[in-house]
Amino acid sequence: MNTRITRRKVIGSFAAASGALGGRLFGLFPEIPSARPAASVAGVRVDPPPTIADIVKVDFDQAELARRYAAVAGDREIIALRGRAAQEGLHIDIASSSGARASLRQAPQLSGYVVIAPLRKADGAIAGGIIFGQSAEGQFKASLGLQRGTGAYDVYRGLGGNAQRESTISKTDRDITIDFADGTRKVIQIPARPSSGKAGLAAPLATCGMDCLQCNVVCTVAISVECWVATEWVCIAMAECLPCGIICSIIFVVLCAVMSAVTCYGVCSSCC
């Protein structure tokens, strides 16, 4: 698919998505894109700076998903999150999970994985999920999302063997609101999607797997809030289904490592 990528498109989408963040993100885009420095993570130099098109993704089959879960089932963070889910009468359904391993083409040693497993009620209905995996920095992380409505989740993080509520994420057609446990709030405005159905900012590309708008909204959250926990559940809220969120989530398993060195222009350019 031949789609012209322009700086104007990406900056326009990013500016609309990040309007609520004000001056904190002002100046993210250098005037000359080619002047962006190479990323350096844990002593690994990544040059040129990576985009989504540089991610090598390998989907897990059911046997690998079961193996990954068995390997972490005894982890105290997973036990804590599973216990919190049990308080809601929910059980983990690893057989219906999805996951993938990802690495950067120009730096294969920067690799990580993510697994998204649904939580089910006694009647089989999905009411949330558990996300676990390893970031490109080698950190194991896990989080729990308890569904509170369409596009709304209470998000818990496994921390020190406890399930600690981190935030409540809710989505409308116009914005995504993140209410943190400490009482602070972030509101990310969602630009209107084109209604014509023609290719544009909301047109997903095969090289990206998500649209320009979605990438920039999530990239905004990743840079301004926290990469991984909040970002993962914003991915799920935007996709409005657990399996759909894997496309968005896997991007940040790898690119969280270089997010501070690479702007959203570089990360999302292959989507726009």
Residue range 227-263, pLDDT digits in tens: 667 778 888 888 888 877 777 777 777 777 666 666 7
Provide, for the chain, the percentages of residues in helix, strand and coil under a 3-state DSSP scheme, each rounded to the nearest 5: 35, 30, 35
Measured CA to CA, the distance from residue 146 to residue 155 in angstroms comes to 7
Distance of CA 35 to the CA centre of its chain: 27
**pTM for the predicted model, two decimal places:** 0.77
**How many helices (DSSP H) and strands (DSSP E) are in the chain?**
7, 12
Measured CA to CA, the distance from residue 185 to residue 8 in angstroms comes to 29
**Token representation of residue 132:** 């676990």
How many other C-beta atoms lie within 10 A of the C-beta of residue 188?
Answer: 24
Instruction: For helices 7-17 and 212-224, give the axis angle rounded to 10 degrees.
Output: 60
Measured CA to CA, the distance from residue 266 to residue 263 in angstroms comes to 5
- Residue with the two structure tokens 């697994």: 115
Average pLDDT over residues 141-160: 90
Measured CA to CA, the distance from residue 64 to residue 71 in angstroms comes to 10
The pLDDT mean for the chain works out to 75
Q: How confident is the model at residue 247, as a pLDDT?
A: 75
- Banded model confidence at residue 62, pLDDT cuts 50, 70, 90: very high
Q: How confident is the model at residue 128, as a pLDDT?
A: 94
Average pLDDT over residues 139-152: 90
If phi > 0 it is left, if psi is from -120 to 50 it is alpha, else beta; for residue 74 that is alpha
Instruction: Convert 90-116 to b/e letters by CB count within 10 Å (16 or more is b).
Output: bebbbebbbbbbbbbebbeebbbbbbb
Q: How confident is the model at residue 152, as a pLDDT?
A: 92
Closest CA to 216 of 190, 254, 241: 190
Distance of CA 73 to the CA centre of its chain: 23
- pLDDT beyond 60 at 172: yes
Q: How confident is the model at residue 51, as a pLDDT?
A: 77
Q: How confident is the model at residue 230, as a pLDDT?
A: 76
Instruction: For helices 229-239 and 245-255, give the axis angle rounded to 10 degrees.
Output: 160
Average pLDDT over residues 11-31: 33
Q: Do the Cβ atoms of 268 and 216 come closer than 8 Å?
A: yes
Measured CA to CA, the distance from residue 45 to residue 56 in angstroms comes to 17
Q: How confident is the model at residue 250, as a pLDDT?
A: 78
Average pLDDT over residues 204-225: 69
Closest CA to 240 of 269, 268, 214, 203: 214
Measured CA to CA, the distance from residue 11 to residue 150 in angstroms comes to 29
